[in-house]
Structure 1
Amino acid sequence: MSEDFRGEYYQKVDSKARVSIPAAFRRVLDAGDPSSSDTSRTRIMMVYGGKSRQYAECYTIRDADALAAQVRALPIGSKQRQIAERDLITRSLTVEIDENGRIVLPQKVRDKIGFEDGDETAFAGTLDRFQIWKRDTYDAVNGSLDDEEDELPDGVDVLSLLSRVSPGV
């Protein structure tokens, strides 16, 4: 089983601000929450900080702890640590997945993303985390698949971007 978040999924938000987490993402979240074996509910860490971000970024509990360790490694009192603490630690919430595989989107997350009743989400996997967007914003920012080819010179395959990266980096 892969422990990466992969793919993009579209889900409706109901009138109670509930949304279903894609099943493939739930398996990764279950594996990344050590205490979920002790309780019936798996937890997600949702980060909604960063003024330029138009989405909430979601981590397994294990990966949220690793992120916190990176913040903790910054020098106390430094501007970098203050920004990282504010945007990645203070502006984050722990959310539990219910028995039906849903979460309730917290009000701060709905405000950040601009959700209203009846909106659709876009869940976008990014390997060790995933993003939750308002679908209209996601589509506008990410454009169509054809637009992506304009970012590379003619005839260049996207796999060539990985030619200098070593596995495990």
Structure 2
Amino acid sequence: MAEAFRGEFYQKVDGKQRVTLPAAFRQILLADDPDRTDPARPRVYLVYGGKNRNYVEGYSKAGADALAAQIEAMEIGSKARDRAERDLISRSVMVEIEPDGRFVLPPKVREKIGLTGPDFASGGEVAYAGTTNRFRLYRRDVYDAENEDDDDDDDDGVDPLALVGRAAKGA
């Protein structure tokens, strides 16, 4: 992966269910997809599986390949591998980004994040949240509600950098 997906971005969804991918994310997709057919159209892999998720995850070509390799390393026939294949491979879709940065949200993606029904027939708004090797795509109001309380998660007095340090030490 060339660079990490970083930041929060908000975009309107138009009446044709198209949305613009943040320019910073497009650059990562371009770098991680050197063998694409059209040099101006990088691919993004949108994973909509996982019944407890209220978001879709977006991977670059390199990120999607790395995820698939991790799943292939799992024991064939195991429940864990079957679930990973179903939720992360089968329930995903590849989308090419237009040269202007827009793409049409596939029906399964719209359904997963709740951009369906009469309230969203003429569009809506989405939130992109970078998470290092992938990004998450939410309906904007869902993202805002989910993160409203997260600013209070430091009640335990632990600095987030300390948590990263614990992970690095294997704690």
In structure 2, the residue matched to 1:41 is 41
- Which residue pairs with 1:92 in the alignment? 92
Q: Does the 8 Å contact 1:33/1:60 carry over to 2? A: yes
Match of 1:161 in 2: 163
How far residue 163 of structure 1 moved from its aligned partner, in angstroms, is: 2.3
Alignment of 1:98-117 (within 5 A): 98-115=98-115, 116=120, 117=122
- Tell me by how many angstroms 1:38 deviates: 5.4
Q: What is the aligned-residue identity percentage?
A: 55
Question: Is residue 2:151 matched to residue 1:148?
Answer: yes
Partner of 1:122: 127
Q: CA RMSD in A?
A: 1.8
SS in 1 for 2:10: strand
Per the TM alignment, residue 36 of structure 1 is displaced from its structure 2 partner at its CA by 3.1
* Cα shift at 1:152: 3.8
Conserved 8 A contact 1:44-1:95: yes
Residue by residue, what CA displacement relative to the aligned partner does 1:82-135 show, whole Å, maximum 9, x if unpaired? 100000000000000001111110001001111123210000000100011000
Q: Distance in 2 between matches of 1:30 and 1:163?
A: 32
- Separation in 1 of the partners of 2:152 and 2:24? 27
User: Secondary structure of 2:166's partner?
Assistant: coil
Instruction: List aligned pairs for 1:12-23, cutoff 5 A.
Output: 12-23=12-23
1:149 counterpart letter in structure 2: D
| Uncovered stretches (5+) of structure 1, i.e. residues with no partner | none
CA distance in 1, matches of 2:13, 2:163: 36
Structure 2: 5+ residue runs without aligned partners? none
Aligned residue identity for 2:99: E
Amino acid at match of 1:114: G
Q: Is the 8 A contact 1:34 1:62 kept in 2?
A: no
- Number of aligned residue pairs: 163
**Letter aligned with residue 57 of structure 1:** E
1:78 aligns with 2:81: no
Q: How far apart are residue 62 of structure 1 and its match?
A: 0.5
Give the 3-state SS of the residue equivalent to 1:133 in structure 2.
strand
